[in-house]
Structure 1
């Protein structure tokens, strides 16, 4: 009885910690009276820290022309007051005392910045745990916990307090923060709606109808993989839609043809971002053009961002080589590494009725068996899937519509459409199309009296449930990404690798590797582009001119560097177990997530090496792309032919 009371009391006291801390901070701020000093919640060494001082005009007689002496340890800064505020940046390299003096009032606080090199630990711990223990939930949580513990260990004097604050921060800061993002909520809702639609069109026999129709073209493992690859290339306008639609639609077909879930997940994952990153009408265009523009304004390049995008397309070797590499694996019917073992195991288990080993199929996403008397009409699944595809495209055009662009006679049709889709709201388009598909699937099911209303609703709810595992992983991955952002993990990687002088001809290859490392650590290709475009592109321009290159030669390196950032971010995204598209590929294919990462990694790295040595390096020295792309294709063909082994 006493133990129960003591435990309850402890839990109650721990729950009050955040409120007690908040109260003490409020009292401390009130004690400053006319001065209010605002510092970032997280201060990292070697990163500029914004310090904002607000002055209460009712409690102070300060004039607009007055100044405030700021003392950081032994350094004095005379800061001018503007609009009763003083804002300046200071770089803390190690533990320092921040002192502010004003009208005989003193503010003093010990600043203990987190060493920048520690920022690599949270994603590194998560990645290593995921790879070695093959369990993604605990890996993400431990990575998240290690990050919050590091943050509060440098803020609190007591490790005991830091421990419990880190626990609270996981839930009330990072998880809630990731869920508060409207884009993240849109992805969750879209995933749930897609899961519901797929479950319903499976239950009403539509999926089986598609399987029967595709059997004419997908009659063997090779043709089944080719159809999957073709659908992945066909749905080019958004990587999320590509992953979920192709994976969920083709999974029953590939299962019947004895193609492993790992191979399906690889084809789905490796035809999503690569296609979206090179197609001229995708949801990536707008975001990339804005990143390019943020860099060009720094170096006064007059060429438009869209023109830079078009000129960089021929040197986006990794996406092109990835799509060709998959095709060679399919045509030659060969695999190597962990993928070969996965394919052979799938063939053996599927062919052996007395196999004692369980087939690796997610219990939450396994197919629902339909009644024998359920009609298998392909259009009950085909129509909703087409609505998702066409509806997403229509939504992109609608949300990005600009009459001035459309009526501009100087722009070609393709450029007009690219500008419109680039300015669209992809999340809204995905939500509209997926909800419309669910409603149409319900109408088709009920109008043909295939299922009763109750059973149709049950099918939708069951479809929602199938996505809960992936949603949990996504939320943890987003929270971990916020940790790496707050701790400036990308800055650590960038500063470490950019510190040495690099030849202009080696810069694209170096940038490709750097981009891949950052995307691998953060799990975000878009985040990587946001970091590197404004950082690397101006550096490449300055580096080329400092090496004596003229503008034409410098622009060649500039274009290739633009390509290298995007291609490297896609490579890192493919290799990272905390990437959202990698997670969604595992989900849509109902494949064990760690097995998907483990089997895909050798393939992605192989294409990455070829992209450097047969693409970026010679391209920087002036070899044209129309020579390099066939050379790269030939090398990949030879690798598959001589390093691969027959799956059968």
Structure 2
């Protein structure tokens, strides 16, 4: 970025911060701050999001977003000198606090460990062998994209593992079949959180069920929270429609909007990336090609990746089992340790970030041992390769830390609380699910966190829906609107961790990924409201709304989309 552009960006952020009410904010009281700042609580997320699109520099944009929020919290009156000093200290404390959080630290370590794993697998020729094997079956763009979509569904248990695993494996295949990196990133992103959010067993279940349970207790509803979670699945319109949209687009080979231009560029000119793209991949990855003496084997990928998946499943079970302190529940689990109930409860109680880090670390060790035993490399070369893979993920760790810091600043400012207070007025019963869906989308887009949005909206949505209409189906519909709206907004947001990881896994320019995906997500979000939440709010059964929505998705692809060539 040129110095003049940087100066203009910094000037714009300074003006926004100065324009905000310069009161002495209490950084520990988000609700109070939401009343003090009002509309201005939107400044940090808007700075980060708008500057990301203008500058195409995610790190700078996130940093300025965090800094603008810190300025608002630390500046008293018009004492900008001490405000600047305090803001710098607050930004550093936010970043340190984000890394000190055990969950966040586990995610960062998981990303680094998976980067090391993929590097060793690549150096052994495992990724190349899988790519060559799939390339024999993937006769064209359609089949290459279909295998990517299918692999995304297979890794249903965690969205982070999905984003970081599918991309590096499928990228050589989709590149060879002239599928744009933007489309690869979209397929990965659209099969990460959407499938993890509705899977019966995943790292999301405990959190979602816990929120539902707390909401039920709040209004005195006697209902099994997990059973309610399962019953919301037919109402999770965006999750279902976006998964189907990806598949329908692949089968019909139809694209529209910015994605159409990206795919036409890849098909006609063989450019999987735009000329001005800045892919989220390190130069070190070019050093990970297998040597001339290496005979590529798919087992060099299957065994380590299989170790990752198996270790993750076992880790979820035993880690969760050790965390359960309810004697009655433990007795039920011990009576039938392999039952669905036991697996569900253990998975739900596990610390997913720690388990996935441990699984990735174990898989990396297995890969290094395999490589040394097969004489692909020495022990020293194996460790060097693993560290090289970690280095390639450094930018991801930096972005995640800044995104979490921005989320922390937004929470202290009370941004989500202000949005809820403004948008959740008295509404007709039939439109409430749609409003909750849209409200969840806005909060999730602005904050970049689906978990945080669920935590904010669920305690409000359950009592409100129960007070308006005491029907169980209506309550479940509004719960689904919270869970689905949070994922929809997170799917659109450039500051979302899963969106960032999808760009990283596919080695795509992050802003290009967001720009092309946003158009599709909004289209499917519109279908979710018009053919899902609105008719469901009027009392129509999912037996009617789901087929209508799926048909609308296909009709949209035919009416708006343009067919692209396929070699198969």
Give the C-alpha shift of residue 370 in structure 1. Answer: 2.7
Root-mean-square deviation (CA, aligned residues, Å) is: 2.1
- The reply on whether 1:520 has 2:445 as its aligned counterpart is yes
Instruction: Give the match for residue 502 of structure 2.
Output: 585
Inter-partner Cα distance in structure 2 for 1:340 and 1:418: 41
Give the C-alpha shift of residue 372 in structure 1. Answer: 2.7
Inter-partner Cα distance in structure 2 for 1:454 and 1:583: 32
Residues 27 and 412 of structure 2 are in contact (CA less than 8 Å); yes or no, is this contact kept in structure 1?
A: no
Shift in alpha-carbon separation, 1:361–1:481, aligned structure 2, 3 A: closer
- The reply on whether 1:215 has 2:140 as its aligned counterpart is no
Give the C-alpha shift of residue 182 in structure 1. Answer: 0.8
- The reply on whether 1:148 has 2:70 as its aligned counterpart is yes
- The reply on whether 1:320 has 2:246 as its aligned counterpart is no
> Which is greater in Rg?
1
Inter-partner Cα distance in structure 1 for 2:489 and 2:375: 48
Give the C-alpha shift of residue 407 in structure 1. Answer: 4.7
Inter-partner Cα distance in structure 1 for 2:501 and 2:393: 10
User: Larger helix proportion, structure 1 or 2?
Assistant: 2
Give the C-alpha shift of residue 647 in structure 1. Answer: 2.9
Instruction: Give the match for residue 147 of structure 2.
Output: 227
Inter-partner Cα distance in structure 2 for 1:389 and 1:369: 24
Q: What are the Cα deviations for residues 258-278 of structure 1, in whole angstroms up to 9, with x where unaligned?
A: 111111110001100010111
Instruction: Give the match for residue 139 of structure 1.
Output: 61
- The reply on whether 1:572 has 2:489 as its aligned counterpart is yes
Number of residue pairs matched by the alignment: 532
Instruction: Give the match for residue 624 of structure 1.
Output: 541
Residues 504 and 557 of structure 1 are in contact (CA less than 8 Å); yes or no, is this contact kept in structure 2?
A: no
> Counterpart of 1:115 in 2: which secondary structure?
helix
Q: What are the Cα deviations for residues 206-258 of structure 1, in whole angstroms up to 9, with x where unaligned?
A: 11111122123222111010000001011111111111111121112211221
Give the C-alpha shift of residue 641 in structure 1. Answer: 1.6
Counterpart of 2:460 (choices 532, 535, 539) is 535
- The reply on whether 1:165 has 2:96 as its aligned counterpart is no
Instruction: Give the match for residue 364 of structure 1.
Output: 282
**TM-score, scaled relative to structure 1:** 0.79
Give the C-alpha shift of residue 306 in structure 1. Answer: 1.2
- The reply on whether 1:404 has 2:331 as its aligned counterpart is yes
Give the C-alpha shift of residue 419 in structure 1. Answer: 2.0
Instruction: Give the match for residue 614 of structure 1.
Output: 531
Structure 2: give runs of 5+ residues left out of the alignment: 1-24, 325-329
Inter-partner Cα distance in structure 2 for 1:486 and 1:151: 8
Residues 26 and 32 of structure 2 are in contact (CA less than 8 Å); yes or no, is this contact kept in structure 1?
A: no
Inter-partner Cα distance in structure 1 for 2:536 and 2:258: 32
Instruction: Give the match for residue 469 of structure 1.
Output: 395
> Counterpart of 2:291 in 1: which secondary structure?
coil
Residues 505 and 557 of structure 1 are in contact (CA less than 8 Å); yes or no, is this contact kept in structure 2?
A: no
- The reply on whether 1:489 has 2:412 as its aligned counterpart is no
Instruction: Give the match for residue 110 of structure 2.
Output: 190
User: Larger strand proportion, structure 1 or 2?
Assistant: 1
Q: What are the Cα deviations for residues 6-45 of structure 1, in whole angstroms up to 9, with x where unaligned?
A: xxxxxxxxxxxxxxxxxxxxxxxxxxxxxxxxx954556x
Residues 287 and 422 of structure 1 are in contact (CA less than 8 Å); yes or no, is this contact kept in structure 2?
A: yes
Shift in alpha-carbon separation, 1:285–1:43, aligned structure 2, 3 A: closer
Residues 125 and 300 of structure 2 are in contact (CA less than 8 Å); yes or no, is this contact kept in structure 1?
A: yes
Residues 470 and 583 of structure 1 are in contact (CA less than 8 Å); yes or no, is this contact kept in structure 2?
A: yes
Residues 575 and 604 of structure 1 are in contact (CA less than 8 Å); yes or no, is this contact kept in structure 2?
A: yes
Give the C-alpha shift of residue 124 in structure 1. Answer: 1.0
Inter-partner Cα distance in structure 1 for 2:458 and 2:347: 21
Inter-partner Cα distance in structure 2 for 1:361 and 1:117: 34
Q: What are the Cα deviations for residues 562-603 of structure 1, in whole angstroms up to 9, with x where unaligned?
A: 100010000000100000010011111111111110000011
Give the C-alpha shift of residue 324 in structure 1. Answer: 0.3
Give the C-alpha shift of residue 398 in structure 1. Answer: 1.0
- The reply on whether 1:243 has 2:160 as its aligned counterpart is no
Inter-partner Cα distance in structure 1 for 2:341 and 2:536: 26
Instruction: Give the match for residue 378 of structure 2.
Output: 452
Structure 1: give runs of 5+ residues left out of the alignment: 1-38, 50-91, 94-113, 545-550
Q: Which has the higher contact order (CA 8 A, sep 6+)?
A: 2
Q: What are the Cα deviations for residues 408-436 of structure 1, in whole angstroms up to 9, with x where unaligned?
A: 67x99434322221111212220121011
Q: What are the Cα deviations for residues 380-426 of structure 1, in whole angstroms up to 9, with x where unaligned?
A: 111111111111111111112264232567x9943432222111121
Inter-partner Cα distance in structure 2 for 1:357 and 1:578: 24
Inter-partner Cα distance in structure 2 for 1:48 and 1:220: 57
Q: What are the Cα deviations for residues 163-204 of structure 1, in whole angstroms up to 9, with x where unaligned?
A: 222122211x11111111111111111111111111111111
Inter-partner Cα distance in structure 1 for 2:274 and 2:156: 41
Inter-partner Cα distance in structure 2 for 1:520 and 1:423: 28
Residues 308 and 559 of structure 1 are in contact (CA less than 8 Å); yes or no, is this contact kept in structure 2?
A: yes
Inter-partner Cα distance in structure 2 for 1:356 and 1:584: 19
Shift in alpha-carbon separation, 1:423–1:207, aligned structure 2, 3 A: same
Instruction: Give the match for residue 116 of structure 1.
Output: 38
Shift in alpha-carbon separation, 1:396–1:161, aligned structure 2, 3 A: same
Inter-partner Cα distance in structure 1 for 2:65 and 2:263: 32
Instruction: Give the match for residue 312 of structure 2.
Output: 392
> Counterpart of 2:429 in 1: which secondary structure?
coil
Instruction: Give the match for residue 501 of structure 1.
Output: 426
Residues 238 and 283 of structure 1 are in contact (CA less than 8 Å); yes or no, is this contact kept in structure 2?
A: yes
Inter-partner Cα distance in structure 1 for 2:492 and 2:354: 29
Inter-partner Cα distance in structure 1 for 2:535 and 2:45: 33
Instruction: Give the match for residue 637 of structure 1.
Output: 554
Give the C-alpha shift of residue 377 in structure 1. Answer: 1.1
Counterpart of 2:173 (choices 229, 253, 260) is 253
Inter-partner Cα distance in structure 2 for 1:521 and 1:640: 28
